[in-house]
Amino acid sequence: MITVFLFVAGIVIGSFLNVVGLRWGSGRTLLGRSSCPSCGKVLEWYELIPLFSFLILRGRCLNCGGKISWQYPAVEILTGLVFATIFNFQFSIFQNLILISVFCIYIVIVIYDVYHKIIPDELVYTSIALSLLVPLFIVHYSLLDWLSGPILFAFFGLIWLLSKGYAMGFGDAKLGLSVGLLLGATQGFSAIILAFWIGAFGSLMYLFGDKVGFPKNAKKLTMKSEIPFAPFIVAGAWMSLVFNLNLFHVALF
């Protein structure tokens, strides 16, 4: 029952994270009513029920019939899965709140990075600050666990520096710092290994993302297009945490 509750709560929170990710840096406040992106009609409450409204309306605006992006239910479902899977019954409520809060920020970062190809400093710095609570107040980290964040930061930072920003953004380095602090050495490094594996496949899939309307109004993508890496880092962090991964021996082999 707790897992079901977490999944439902995640769907609801995911709807809000969609709004945050889409409105961040746009000048719009988070308090404004949502509207149809096609006709501009302000949506009624029954058109804003997370997931169910999209299914009932069959992905179309009730007023103009315009298509609603699959991003909305996708983010809601994924957030529900994150909530239901990262909650650890062996952790305290405080520990779980930290994990959930950081991953909520990660999800907003992913949405923003997909659309704008940049990671906002305010979001990533907040995730770093929250991630610091893990080694400081929650668990006893080894020296390598403490260093995993700076090591990942240096790794991504070196790629950014040597490629002059073409191969990797500096925001990815900051995100790597957060992931390393949050997960520690084994899971943190495994998350990044997995991120590159997912990225190799996901980049090819992203090339065809405009065909399914995510991101919205995307320009035609080619092999030379800039691909956001934050989604792969976050996906790797999530899977590494949930499955308690240790990919060192696989990577070395």
100-122 pLDDT, tens digit each: 999 999 999 999 999 999 999 99
Please report, for the chain, the start and end positions of each structural domain, with discontinuous segments joined by +: 1-87, 92-253
DSSP the chain: -HHHHHHHHHHHHHHHHHHHHHHTTSS--TTSPPB-TTT-PBPPGGG-STTHHHHHTTTB-TTT-PBPPTHHHHHHHHHHHHHHHH--TTS-HHHHHHHHHHHHHHHHHHHHHHHHSS--HHHHHHHHHHHHHIIIIIS---HHHHHHHHHHHHHHHHHHHHTTTSS--HHHHHHHHHHHHHHHHHHHHHHHHHHHHHHHHHHHHHTTGGGGTSSTTPPPP-TTS----HHHHHHHHHHHHHHT---HHHHH-
pTM above 0.85, yes or no: yes
Is 130 within 8 Å of 138 (Cβ atoms)? no
Residue that wins the pLDDT comparison between 206 and 190: 190
Of 19-23, 43-47, 133-137, 249-253, which one has max mean pLDDT? 19-23
Rounded to 5 degrees, φ, ψ at 67 are -70, 140
pLDDT (mean) for 62-66: 77
141-159 pLDDT, tens digit each: 788 998 999 999 999 999 9
pLDDT (mean) for 186-209: 84
Token pair recorded at residue 67: 């298509």
124-139 pLDDT, tens digit each: 999 999 999 987 776 6
